[in-house]
Amino acid sequence: MSKSFAANPVIGNNFLNRIGLHAGRAAVAHAMAKVRWALLAWQVPPDLRKTFQAQGFVVVPDVLPEEEFNALVSQVGSQQACEVRECIQGDTLTHRILLDDRALAQLSHVQKLLHHPLFEPLLTYCGANRKRPLHYVQSIKNGAVEGNDDPQKALHSDTFHPTMKSWFFLGDVPMDKGPFTYVPGSNRLTRKRLAWEYRRSLTARSDPDGYSERGSLRVNRDDLRALGLPDPVSLAVQKNTLVVANTCGFHCRGRAQAGTNRLEIWSFSRTNPFNPFPGIGSKLASKLEHRGAKALWRWLDRKAEAKGTLSSWHRVPAHVMSSQSVQK
């Protein structure tokens, strides 16, 4: 409810948004993120910082030595002991393994990646917080089921304040596999963007797309032109590449050929946007977050089972992840 116009009676209040509630909280949140970025700037190279701040994303190829990378891919492909969760969105299947301590005990090469001297500092800087991201093994299977268009393939912003998502690709991602797509510069809260956020806050509660009313605003090409933004770019990359993005900027999954797959280490970080301090990155807090995520899944499973349905992230056999081939 912290970002939902439909579910939160305060955030979705038309009068409050007319006098600037949504636009004001966006401006304050972006200002606080700038303070946290400044405090964390020392931990990443200047060229990566400048690129990230200018365009909203950064691409780092060849993160691991070839032998180490191949060992990681082999280990992920052969795992059978981790809990796998599945989500169906449109015609796309997404499978995830939460990388908590139990999973990492089975995936030592993944654990080594998470402690890579660039990986963790870059993700915490881009996330503007020392809070440890949630990490997952994730597979995306395009056109795997009958359904409408995948909603993640529509350009959108995740929320009103800077947030971080990253993708470390375990296989090549050419154009036909739906590469991550981003509008360069859409991470910046310009006057035009702030005015757009203001206007959308007045209508988002009644938007019919199913996501804007929950705070993940959709954007079209006409909006981009009005905002003075360029066309989105598709980041077709080779395996062993890390992409880190500020997902307050406009982004989406690219259009993909049915039957194609992506396999990646996916990471996500979102924190209190109004706190000027980056925190300390507590291991205990990370463990508690993992337990909370799993407890929520189990609660949603029980709730769905009582209705005779599946929860949005339901458990599936481990082999659905291990059977995921890394296409060349």
Instruction: Report how far residue 9's alpha carbon sits from residue 7's, in angstroms, rounded to the nearest whole number.
Output: 6
Domains identified in the chain and CATH numbers: 14-322 (2.60.120.620)
Q: Given this model, what pLDDT does residue 169 score?
A: 98
Q: Given this model, what pLDDT does residue 328 score?
A: 39
Segment 235-245 mean pLDDT: 98
Q: Given this model, what pLDDT does residue 323 score?
A: 58
- Taking 3-state DSSP, the helix, strand and coil percentages for the chain, each rounded to the nearest 5, stand at 40, 20, 40
Q: Given this model, what pLDDT does residue 286 score?
A: 92
Question: CB-hemisphere CA count at 13 Å for 182?
Answer: 25
- 8 Å CB contact between 11 and 213: no
The H helix count followed by the E strand count for the chain is: 11, 11
Q: Given this model, what pLDDT does residue 322 score?
A: 63
Q: What is the mean pLDDT of the chain?
A: 93
Residue 326's pLDDT band, with cuts at 50, 70 and 90, is very low
